[in-house]
Amino acid sequence: MRAIVRDSYGPAGGLSLRAVDRPPIGENDVLVRVRAAAVDPGVWIFMTGRPLAVRLATGLRRPRVAGLGRDLAGVVAEVGAGVTGLRPGDEVYGTCKTGSLAEYAVAPQQRLAPKPANLTFEQAAAVPVSGVTALQSLRVAGVSAGHRVMIIGAGGGIGTFAVQLARASGAAVTGVCSGSKAELVRSLGAGHVIDYTRQEITGGGERYDVVIDTAGNRPLSTLRRTVVERGTIALVGGGHARGRWLGGFQRQMAAPVLSLLGAARVRGVTAREGRRSLEELTPLLESGAVTPVLGATYPLGDAAAAIRELEQGHPTGKIVVTVG
């Protein structure tokens, strides 16, 4: 099969499309013929091995897995002996463990769900990491009907799902994004948009019940000034390019302590991808309450370009890779 692989940690220039063996499956694994994949800042982290703490899981000196990419949508090709509920030929979406920027990828069965019937493979591949993170961020923050919610990074991978999910739960949404994405963010359900390149989020003096920060590049003191007394700040983004060891994730880890130091509740989000969250999203996707926003689409051979676009830090919605 053809797959995007690398021999060491480093920039996108170190990626190449090569012929490699199909990955073997374990008892509870599923081999998926990948039709589409997507990239997210986590892919950049696994590619570069930065922040360094990630190497404890992915290999200290060089990556244990040569492949790259987590999100996928495709067709089940083979199942392990312990797999129940999925059969060859089923269309699925979810996350894998061998690299989804490849013609075949291996996923544990509990990380796959049947693909929403109305979505293309490209649309479905956009959902797993970012859609699930958005869903769990809203849950961690306790978003409910009538809440005033500000979503920072509203035009990005997680943000475009978060705006739609918050709106679907009956919240009044303010999206924070650069001006070129304002119309998009409004169309997703934000009643109000702040173009942060013209006005800082504290500029209007508004206070929100919940602030969901996917951009991760503002001081907590700024975020605190935007929430009501006992409002909630959900820290999602760590600012993936910052911090040699922890890349900014130390703030999420410290959230319980930060919560004690001021009036706002501070919650660190650590999303767990899995079938149950995907199955919660599926009816919302099938009803049209949530529609994946695809920014750019690249062929498999141009996966490095997809990651380069991502690392600029300003993608619109999800960047998808068509595998075919």
**What length does the chain have?**
324
User: Which of 27, 270, 301, 324 touches ligand NAP by CB under 6 A?
Assistant: 270
Does 41 interact with ligand NAP (rule: CB under 6 A)? yes
User: Which of 4, 152, 163, 321 touches ligand NAP by CB under 6 A?
Assistant: 152
Query: Which of 94, 153 has the CB closer to ligand NAP?
Result: 153
Burial class (CB in 10 A: 0-12, 13-18, 19+), 146: exposed
Query: Which of 80, 274 has the CB closer to ligand NAP?
Result: 274
Provide the token pair at 158.
Answer: 């997680």
User: Contact at 8 Å (CB) between 105 and 73?
Assistant: no
d(CA 163, CA 175): 7
Bond prior to 23 in cis (omega within 30° of 0): no
Q: Are strands 294-299 and 318-322 parallel, antiparallel or unpaired?
A: parallel
d(CA 171, CA 149): 7
Q: What residues does 73 pair with on adjacent strands? A: 36, 93
User: Which of 125, 135, 171, 177 touches ligand NAP by CB under 6 A?
Assistant: 177
Judged by CB under 6 A, the stretch of 37-45, 55-63, 80-88, 274-282 that binds ligand NAP is 37-45
Residue type present at position 264: A
User: Which of 271, 281, 293, 306 touches ligand NAP by CB under 6 A?
Assistant: 271
Judged by CB under 6 A, the stretch of 48-56, 64-72, 152-160, 258-266 that binds ligand NAP is 152-160
Contact code string over 232-251 relative to ligand NAP, x by CB under 6 A: ----xxxxx-----------
Query: What are residue 60's phi and psi, to 5 degrees?
Result: -70, -50
Does 153 interact with ligand NAP (rule: CB under 6 A)? yes
CB 235, min distance to ligand NAP, A: 7
Interacting residues of 76 by C-beta distance below 8 A, sequence separation 6+: 30, 31, 32, 33, 86, 87, 88, 89, 90, 91, 92
Does 155 interact with ligand NAP (rule: CB under 6 A)? yes
User: Which of 215, 258, 293, 294 touches ligand NAP by CB under 6 A?
Assistant: 215
Does 157 interact with ligand NAP (rule: CB under 6 A)? yes
Binding site for ligand NAP (CB under 6 A): 40-42, 129-130, 133, 152-153, 155-159, 176-178, 181, 196, 214-217, 236-240, 269-271, 310, 313-315
